[in-house]
Amino acid sequence: MLPVPQGVHVWLAPGHTDMRKGFPGLSLLVQETLKKDPHAGHLFVFRGRRGDLLKIIWHDGQGACLFMKRLERGRFIWPITSCSRASGTTRGAISMTPAQLGYLLEGIDWRAPQKTWRPEIAG
């Protein structure tokens, strides 16, 4: 579980994101697509095309932190948003609570919490 400081907002980027992006690319997405300040101290969550990989960027006041999580089995539950058929892109960030983010990171459907598959052995 990622400890979320008091007063920090969690924003989901709608749709899917190119997971090859690092700090500069994701910060630019936050600024230009989500219309938020990437240095404001909030958590910004991005999901890959397959849905099994998440990246979270957070600026803690001293520098940017990049967290990544991949599910061994299953997909992260992501909200369905409307998109422009012409461009295939979605606009605007989706707000969620830190508790919902905790469920999301555990692979639990944060809309109706229920534990998903968990690996029994490594390898």
Contact 9, 67 (CB under 8 A): no
In a domain, 119, yes or no: no
Residue 10 pLDDT greater than 90, yes or no: yes
Residue 44 is predicted with a pLDDT of: 96
Q: What CA–CA distances, in Å, run from 118 to 87, 107, 108?
A: 37, 9, 11
CB atoms within 10 A of CB 42: 20
**Could you tell me which residues are beta bridge partners of residue 94?**
12
Give residue 62's domain range: 10-105
pTM: 0.79
Residue 39 is predicted with a pLDDT of: 93
pLDDT tens readout for residues 53-68: 999 999 988 999 999 9
In a domain, 30, yes or no: yes
pLDDT tens readout for residues 12-34: 999 899 999 999 999 999 999 99
In a domain, 115, yes or no: no
In a domain, 122, yes or no: no
pLDDT tens readout for residues 59-113: 988 999 999 999 998 899 888 765 533 444 456 788 988 888 988 888 887 777 6
Nearest CA to 36 among 97, 82, 89, 93? 93
Please give the structure tokens belonging to residue 115: 């534990």
In a domain, 3, yes or no: no
**Could you tell me which residues are beta bridge partners of residue 95?**
11
What's the structural domain count of the chain? 1
Does residue 102 sit in helix, strand or coil? helix
Residue 55 is predicted with a pLDDT of: 96
In a domain, 1, yes or no: no
Spatial distance between the Cα atoms of 47 and 2, rounded to a whole number of angstroms: 16
